[in-house]
Chains A and B, each alone.
Chain A
Amino acid sequence: DAKTTQPPSMDCAEGRAANLPCNHSTISGNEYVYWYRQIHSQGPQYIIHGLKNNETNEMASLIITEDRKSSTLILPHATLRDTAVYYCIVYNQGGKLIFGQGTELSVKP
Chain B
Amino acid sequence: GAVVSQHPSRVICKSGTSVKIECRSLDFQATTMFWYRQFPKQSLMLMATSNEGSKATYEQGVEKDKFLINHASLTLSTLTVTSAHPEDSSFYICSAKTAGLAVLAKNIQYFGAGTRLSVL
Interface residues of A (CB under 8 A from B): 32, 34, 36, 38, 41-46, 49, 87, 93, 96-102
Q: Given contacts A96-B34, A100-B43, are A46 and B113 in contact (CB under 8 A)?
A: no
Residue of B nearest to A42 (CB): B113
Closest A residue, CB atoms, query B91: A41
Q: Contacts of B113 on A, CB cut-off 8 Å?
A: 42-43
Q: B44 on the interface (CB 8 Å rule)?
A: yes
Tell me the interface secondary structure of chain A in the complex: loop
Contact between A41 and B46, CB atoms less than 8 A apart: no
Contact B95 A43 (CB under 8 A): yes
13 A-B residue pairs with Cβ-Cβ distance under 8 Å, sorted by A, are A41-B91, A42-B114, A43-B111, A43-B113, A44-B111, A46-B1, A46-B111, A96-B34, A96-B49, A97-B95, A98-B46, A99-B36, A101-B43
Q: How far is the CA of A42 from the CA of B95 in the complex (A)?
A: 12
User: Which of A43, A87, A93, A102 is B93 in contact with, Cβ under 8 Å?
Assistant: A43
Question: B114–A43 contact, CB under 8 A?
Answer: yes
